[in-house]
Amino acid sequence: MIIFVDMDEVIADAYQAHIDIYNQEFNAQIKAEECHGREFWQCVPQEHQQSIKDHTRRDGFFQDLKIIEGSQEVLTELSKKHEVYIASAAMEFPQSLREKSDWLDEFFPFISWQNRILCGNKHVLKGDVLIDDRSKNLGPFDGRSIMFTSPHNMNVTSFERANSWKDIADKLL
Amino acid sequence: MIIFVDMDEVIADAYQAHIDIYNQEFNAQIKAEECHGREFWQCVPQEHQQSIKDHTRRDGFFQDLKIIEGSQEVLTELSKKHEVYIASAAMEFPQSLREKSDWLDEFFPFISWQNRILCGNKHVLKGDVLIDDRSKNLGPFDGRSIMFTSPHNMNVTSFERANSWKDIADKLL
């Protein structure tokens, strides 16, 4: 079975990184729970929104992301049984490409370079399962689309859902 | 129609770059015509072969590649009629990722970041046409596989072949 796994919001916690940077720079105390159903930039005053959107163009943003709980353990097991690919829509941010490669080397070394994909959109991927946090990726996918829960997608009901990597293990292991 | 186009040896002249670097550093005068049917490292004395293989890990190697003749013009036209993706197996060389993105920005700006793919292997791409110089990529592809002629693949007979971008235009435009 070929399984594609997204990076941001699925194995790398970009949402929390946005919150942490914002809270520190604007001396705020926003928590992820307050943002359910919204992108993080939609949770801050309008005059701050552009600064959030610019986070992903900063050097080091993607290098410093924390790991989503359970992803290493479950992907280790999945990789033994299935053909697991990391597929990240990263091409919009050229500075992120090397950082994402290095991040995978550090935290997911068992997923070799042969099984890593950095792309612009995921419409052209052919496989059995896609685990992703975005409707725009899950919708066009031909196989089984599993939405991985993130604060911004809490209200989406159109896809099979996994709330955690334990859920993924229950579904696929 | 979805068309995938490889980078090295198809739109970017990596083979000639290997020759140029080698000729300069070893004061040699090898020409591409002498290497037909072989990888360039197979055309040099054994004690020099590792230095060739290391070219692709040098900073700037992919940034400085010359454009394969006709590729800009034909891809401009193909992009107007079809969904054209650049698909390069680049993940083995993390330093190449940004260079390849920048190179495309400079020479193929009409192919937007949405239509660029940097991957490890191409077995998971779903589309209609793949233009590539490598059997390992063309073989597993489900659609129409077109081998773009490069010195190293001159003796391969298992695929439909294009000797130039004019050939591609004749086939696909």
* Burial zone of B25 (CB within 10 Å; 0-12 exposed, 13-18 middle, 19+ buried): exposed
Report whether CATH 3.40.50.720 matches the domain A2-13+65-172: no
Indicate yes or no: CB of B113 within 8 angstroms of CB of A97: no
Indicate yes or no: CB of B113 within 8 angstroms of CB of A120: yes
pLDDT band, residue B98 (cuts 50/70/90): very high
pLDDT (tens digit per residue) in A14-61: 999 999 999 999 999 999 999 999 999 999 999 999 999 999 999 999
The reported pLDDT for the residue numbered A77 is 98
Indicate yes or no: CB of A121 within 8 angstroms of CB of B142: no
Catalytic status, residue B6: yes
pLDDT (tens digit per residue) in A139-157: 999 999 999 999 999 999 9
Distance to chain B for A48, nearest Cα, Å: 27
- Chain A residues close to B82, C-beta within 8 Å: none
Interface of B with A (CB under 8 A): 2, 4, 85, 91-92, 94-95, 97-98, 101-102, 105, 112-121, 124-127, 142
- Chain B residues close to A136, C-beta within 8 Å: none
pLDDT (tens digit per residue) in B44-71: 999 999 999 999 999 999 999 999 999 9
Mean pLDDT of chain B: 97
The reported pLDDT for the residue numbered A83 is 98
Distance CA B167, CA B149 (A): 10
Catalytic status, residue B133: no
Q: What percent of chain B has pLDDT over 90?
A: 100
Which of the following CATH numbers is that of domain B2-13+66-172: 3.40.1180.10, 2.60.120.560, 3.40.50.620, 3.40.50.1000?
3.40.50.1000
Q: How open is the CA angle B45-B47-B52, to the nearest 5 degrees?
A: 80
Distance to chain A for B22, nearest Cα, Å: 27
- Chain B residues close to A98, C-beta within 8 Å: 94-95, 97-98
Tell me the H-state helices in chain A.
14-25, 49-53, 71-81, 94-107, 135-138, 165-172
Its ipTM equals: 0.95
pLDDT (tens digit per residue) in A71-114: 999 999 999 999 999 999 999 999 999 999 999 999 999 999 99
Q: What percent of chain B has pLDDT over 70?
A: 100
- Chain B residues close to A116, C-beta within 8 Å: 91, 119-120
- Kindly give, in sequence order, each residue whose CB lies less than 8 Å from that of residue B125, ignoring residues fewer than 6 positions away: A124, A125, A126, B4, B87, B117, B119, B141
Domain boundaries, given as residue ranges, for chain A = 2-13+65-172, 14-57
